[in-house]
Amino acid sequence: MDGLNGRPHPLGRVVATERRPNTPHEFHFWTALDAAIGIGTIVRVAGTHAIAGHVPSIYGVVVEGFSYSDLASPLHDVLGSDGIPERAAHGPTDRAEIRLYTAAVLRQVPDEPLQPVPLGEVFLADDADIACALRMDGYLRPDARTAIPIGVYHAGGTSSPIYLDADFLLGPEAAHLTITGVSGLATKTSAVEWLLASIFAHFPEKKGTIAAVCFNVKGPDLCFLDQPATGLDPADLALYERLGVPARPFERVQYFAPHAPDGFTLNTLRSHEALAHNVTALRWGLGEVMEFAEVLLNKDDVDAKADALIDFISHEVIGRQFTDTMLQRPHVVRSFADLAAWFQDVLRGLEQRNAESWRTHHVATIRKVRNRLTNIAQRCAGLVTNDGVVSDLPWGSFADRTVYVVDVANLEEDAQDLVFTRVVPMLRQQLERRSLGVQHVIVFVDELNKYAPSDGPDTYVRKMLLDVAERGRYLGLVLFGAQQFRSQVHRRVVGNAGTAVYGRMDADELATPGYAVLSPALRTKLATLDRGQLMVRHPHFTQPVFVRFPRPPVLSGREGVERFPHAEVATLEVSVMRRLRRLDGTITLDWVKEVTALAEEGEVLRALGATEVAGATDVRAYFRAQFRGIVPARSATRPTVAPLRLASDDNPYDL
Amino acid sequence: MATAACAVGIVKSHRTLYVDAAALSTLARLEAGQRTTAFRVTSQRRTPVVSWYLRLREAAGRGPLWGLVRIEVADARGDTAAVAARADTVSRWVLAERSPLALPDGRWDRMAYGIRDCETFLRAVV
């Protein structure tokens, strides 16, 4: 607000007493009772004296507020009103009242010498002040812009966009983001969806390409990222406009979901036929699983001997011709079924020779490893198949600004672990080799409390998340994690996150030591944040900043399942038809029934998988060719053969 | 000032009591909200004013001067009825100033909060 001569009105004035002095990091100021200021407001203090030729400007954010009167005891007010509250309001003179605020220094300009904050006038920060206070001016320069909008800061009529630095959000300087908040307020997932949209819109071209891999771990949260949001209100649209992010759903989204144990129904809440076009089965065979088989094996159960055998199988048996004098035949193990046959042959050979070991591996170890490995397909039914038909993420051809959603919401815990532990290291490997197709990948994992807990056993998933948190930023692999209780997530995961975002917090969580650095007022504000408000900590911000973000531009999970209800469980033929129609729109149910009429269910699924993977131009011919040839029925004719001799009519024994 | 119609003086400290011996007991027995009759204070050293005592707070269990103030207004030279009406009006104004309480000031029983506020201001600026 401008005052006389275009000079802005001061909002308050810095005050210091012997008991409550100002420091270089904190200062106090009073304001009028009607000043538009509150916890989280950013202010500027105008210095009064030039120091080394510069009049300093000090920027601060309000972290605490006090209001008091000249009363020594509340009892005095009660006595003065005869204990009747209404009477207090009828006094002809208002009691003197003061608004006193404490602000934490965000920045002093110039930076040196760092002195206590002077007794100057306090102004509400404008756009330029906020950019300077939060050190955003460094990455908002047109020639070196790496700014990613995260929301809008509102205070006293000021509405300023707040930006994160892509170099510190997505590497290489710092990376990773954690978001904490109570469940049920649609803050965590919404904030990540919004932020992904913002990143895709503003990720600097010079930094290369970027994609996101999101693990949908519960419900339909991420199942409708390509569908427009319903009812974005004008305030939301204004925020999108202000922040330069299109209010549109993601243009390129690919869904991956394993099958249900039946082998042909996709195990996802995004099962509506209208949305099936970009849902791909996630189906792994022996080759994909074996490298990460240890995830599914009980660590206490698999000792060094078993480990040695697994290593032998991985390197000497799988994927190559294996011959041995003890075995009945050469084996080429490409699937779990092949592996079972190989084990059977080995154990048969040992029994025949009455031997106790083979190639230094004891028969008991061989039996144990056989049991553990061959039941993986049963334990992860739908994800891991016995046959060798594989359907996987598009390794090597990830596309820029594309979201890959891996839906593991309905998987058993073992299978979820396998998905995490294979997908993320694969991303890391391919980013290391620069062969993924994009240069940066954001991995979004919800429920970090569950997957990277601060206590409990050291799981492979936690190890993997720690690895990403500690080394990912050099590779362009960035972890966005969400959790309800930050205090219960492994401290190396949250500690390595350069950016921390908080929605409304649980009071119990705020009482944990990790939040002691926040003032009581900030903690209280965090416990009462509205939907759509966030507190942001970022390496450039010396103090947390409160922002408001718009509702995400995509259909929410709750609305999505109402508009696109879960498809009823289809028969095998219907499921085959639907999936083949994605390759060839002319496929009919009758044709599928005709082709599969005599085939076993396993054969049909194998044929379907092979057809999907092959991507043949003539889908009908390829699918039909996968079945055994059926010899057409012929009526048998009895050949007529002339007898060697004929018996006489009266004596049939005369031959 | 003493002749200004809009000025009201309040005396909180009673170095001189403007009562004779007979009226003293009446003054001591004044209850909260009661006033004495108005009288004229004249002296060669000052401008004559109309004055009266007013009990602001109940003094039961305390000294006779507890909550007792003396009010001075300009002497308008009116008839007795007009003076009494003026005294009633001003007394109501002063009684209204009992709230908010001027605590923690030690003279809070006689002190109007506005006066205390003014004193605080003057102390801060002088």
The phi and psi torsions of B114 (rounded to 5 degrees) equal -60, -35
Of A72, A73, A77, the CB nearest to B100: A77
| Total structural domains within chain B | 1
Q: Is B111's Cβ below 8 Å from some Cβ in A?
A: no
**Does residue B120 form part of some domain?**
no
Interface membership of B96 toward A (CB under 8 Å)? yes
Q: Give the three-class secondary structure for A120.
A: coil
For residue A238, name the pLDDT band (cuts at 50, 70, 90): very high
One domain, residues A498 and A613: no
Residue, of B111 and A374, whose pLDDT is higher:
B111
B88 touches chain A (CB under 8 A): no
ipTM of predicted complex: 0.71
**Which positions in chain A touch B110 (Cβ < 8 Å)?**
none
What residue in A sits closest to B98 (Cα-Cα)?
A: A80
On whether any CB of chain A is under 8 Å from the CB of B100, the answer is yes
pLDDT of residue A90: 79
Residues A423 and A513 occupy one common structural domain: yes
Q: How many angstroms separate the Cα of A243 from the Cα of each of A154, A198, A556?
A: 13, 8, 21
Domain assignment present for A152: no
Q: What local confidence, expressed as pLDDT, does residue A1 receive?
A: 47
Which residues in chain A are contacts of B112 at CB distance < 8 A? Answer: 93
Report pLDDT digits (tens) over A397-407.
999 999 999 99
Residues of A with CB under 8 A from a CB of B: 70-73, 76-77, 79-81, 87-88, 90-93, 95-96
Cβ of A95 and B113 within 8 Å?
Answer: yes
pLDDT at B59 over 70: yes
Query: A115 with A242, same domain?
Result: no
Distance from CA of B38 to the nearest CA of A (A): 25
B63 touches chain A (CB under 8 A): no
* Backbone conformation region of residue A292, classed left if phi is above 0, alpha if psi is from -120 to 50, else beta: alpha
Q: Which range among A192-201, A225-234, A287-296, A595-604 shows the weakest confidence by mean pLDDT?
A: A287-296
Would you call A184 exposed, middle or buried from its count of C-beta atoms within 10 A (0-12, 13-18, 19+)? exposed
Whether residues A235 and A317 fall in one domain: no
Structural domain ending residue among the three candidates A363, A379, A395: A379
Q: How far does the CA of residue A99 sit from the closest CA of chain B (Å)?
A: 17
Q: Mutation test of the interface with chain A: which of B57, B101, B111, choosing the one with the most A Cβ atoms within 10 A?
A: B101
Beta-carbon-side half-sphere exposure of residue A77 (alpha carbons within 13 Å): 15
Q: Name the residue in chain A with its Cα closest to that of B99.
A: A91
Instruction: Give the whole-angstrom CA distance, residue A288 versus residue A335.
Output: 10
Q: Choose the final residue of a domain: A332, A364, A379.
A: A379
Is the same domain home to A491 and A522? yes
Angstrom CA distances, A412 to A184, A379, A405, A483, stand at 23, 8, 18, 20
- Å between A88 CA and nearest CA of chain B: 7
Which residue type occupies B14?
H
What's the gap in Å between the CA of B67 and the closest CA on chain A? 13
DSSP label at residue A315? I
- Which percentage of chain A shows pLDDT scores above 90? 54
- Six token digits for residue A487: 């205090």
Question: Residue A142: is the preceding peptide bond cis (ω within 30°)?
Answer: no
Q: Does A75 lie in the same domain as A164?
A: no
- Is it the case that residue A655 has pLDDT exceeding 60? no
**Which of B93, B104, B112 comes nearest A72 by C-beta?**
B104
Give the number of other CB atoms < 10 A from CB of residue A172. 13
CB-based contact, B124 to chain A, within 8 Å:
no
Look at residue A70 in the predicted model and tell me its pLDDT: 85
| Cβ distance of B104 and A90 shorter than 8 Å | no
Residue A86: predicted pLDDT: 85
Contact at CB, B103 and A93, closer than 8 angstroms: no
CATH number at residue A539: 3.40.50.300
Query: How would you class A177 by CB atoms within 10 Å of its CB: exposed for 0-12, middle for 13-18, buried for 19 or more?
Result: buried
Cβ atoms < 10 Å from Cβ of A242: 15
A&B contacts, CB < 8 Å? 49
- Would residue B84 count as lying in a domain? yes
Contact flag A76-B103 (C-beta cutoff 8 Å): yes
Domain count, chain A: 4
pLDDT at residue A167 greater than cutoff 80? yes
For residue A651, is pLDDT > 80? no
B77 belongs to a structural domain: yes
Contact A93 B120 (CB under 8 A): no
What number is the average pLDDT over the span A56-68?
Answer: 95
Domain stop point among A535, A560, A585: A560
Query: A125 and A23 in one domain?
Result: yes
The whole domain housing B87 covers: 8-100
Report yes or no: B118 at the A interface, CB cutoff 8 Å.
no
Cα gap A166→A145, rounded to integer Å: 9
Q: What is the pLDDT of residues A441-458, one digit of tens each?
A: 999 999 999 999 998 888
Please report the pLDDT score of residue A636 as a whole number: 74
Q: Tell whether A356 and A417 lie within a shared domain.
A: no
Say yes or no for a CB contact (<8 Å) between A81 and B100: yes
Q: Does B103 touch chain A (CB under 8 A)?
A: yes
What's residue A444's pLDDT? 96
Tell me the per-residue pLDDT of B79-120, one tens digit each, with 9 for 90 and over: 889 999 999 999 999 999 988 888 888 898 999 988 888 888
Neighboring chain B residues of A80 at a CB cutoff of 8 Å: 98-101, 103
Do A323 and A441 lie in a common domain? no
Domain range for A620 is: 571-625
DSSP code at position A332 = E
* B124 in any annotated domain: no
Q: Give one DSSP letter per residue of A543-587, joined into a string.
A: S-EEEE-PPPSB--HHHHHHHSPPPPPPPHHHHHHHHHHTT-TT-
Fill in the amino acid letter for A289. Answer: V
Chain A residues closer than 8 Å to B90 by CB: none
Q: Does B98 touch chain A (CB under 8 A)?
A: yes
Alpha-carbon distance A95 to A508, whole Å?
37
Q: What is the mean pLDDT of chain A?
A: 88
* A257 and A359 share one domain: no
Burial class (CB in 10 A: 0-12, 13-18, 19+), A616: middle
Q: How far is A80 from chain B (nearest CA, A)?
A: 5
A73 and B103 in contact by Cβ < 8 A? Answer: yes
pLDDT tier at A300, thresholds 50, 70, 90: low
Domain match, A58 and A126 both: yes
Burial class (CB in 10 A: 0-12, 13-18, 19+), A394: middle
Check whether residue A474 and residue A361 sit in a common domain.
no
Shortest CA gap B104–chain A (Å): 6
